[in-house]
Amino acid sequence: MTIRKGVATAIAVFIIDQLVKYWIVGPFALEAKGSVYIVDIFNLTWVENRGISLGLLSADTDLGRWLLVAGTAIIAGVVGWMMTRPGEEGDRLGFAMILGGALGNIVDRVRFGYVVDYADLHFGEFRPFYVFNIADAAISLGVAYLLIRAFWPRREQETSNA
């Protein structure tokens, strides 16, 4: 994947995430509804995530909020830089998904003071994930992609180009 395609992918993830959140917060007004049944295994559920993944490091103060914004921005900057390095063509998709998702969640935290989560996947009472959003899914898929690539045997041509 070229750098241009990686940047386009990150931008696409960011825009899709923000458009869905706009609909969830605005026209659909999920906050007022709390939770909406969609199908047996999926609801839309309003959650204000003031922490990072899995609700860890909750930032309940303005200082905590801005520290999370700064920390996430630094990580997004490092991921963006890694995406542009020569020899990273195969990993750019993962970096792009992480970058787009991180930027989407940063914008939420700056605008609202929390990240808007709404996707509630469950199987009866069993919930394999916390309530999440498109940005979270993109970050998770990007990390999974990079982990698979890290442990998957590389083709000879790919390793000789690095």
Residue type, 162: A
The DSSP 8-state label assigned to residue 83 in this structure reads H
Q: Which residues make beta-bridge pairs with 115?
A: 49
Of the candidates 17, 91, 120, 136, the residue annotated as catalytic is 136
CB atoms within 10 A of CB 21: 24
**136 catalytic per annotation:** yes
Beta bridge partners of 119: 44, 132
Q: What is the spatial distance between Cα 78 and Cα 89, in angstroms, rounded to a whole number? A: 16
- 3-state secondary structure at position 91: helix
117 catalytic? Reply is yes
| Choice among 17, 91, 108, 117 that is catalytic | 117
Determine contact, residues 131/45, Cβ cutoff 8 Å: yes
Under a CB-based contact definition with an 8 Å cutoff, are residues 142 and 129 in contact? no
Q: Active-site positions?
A: 117, 136
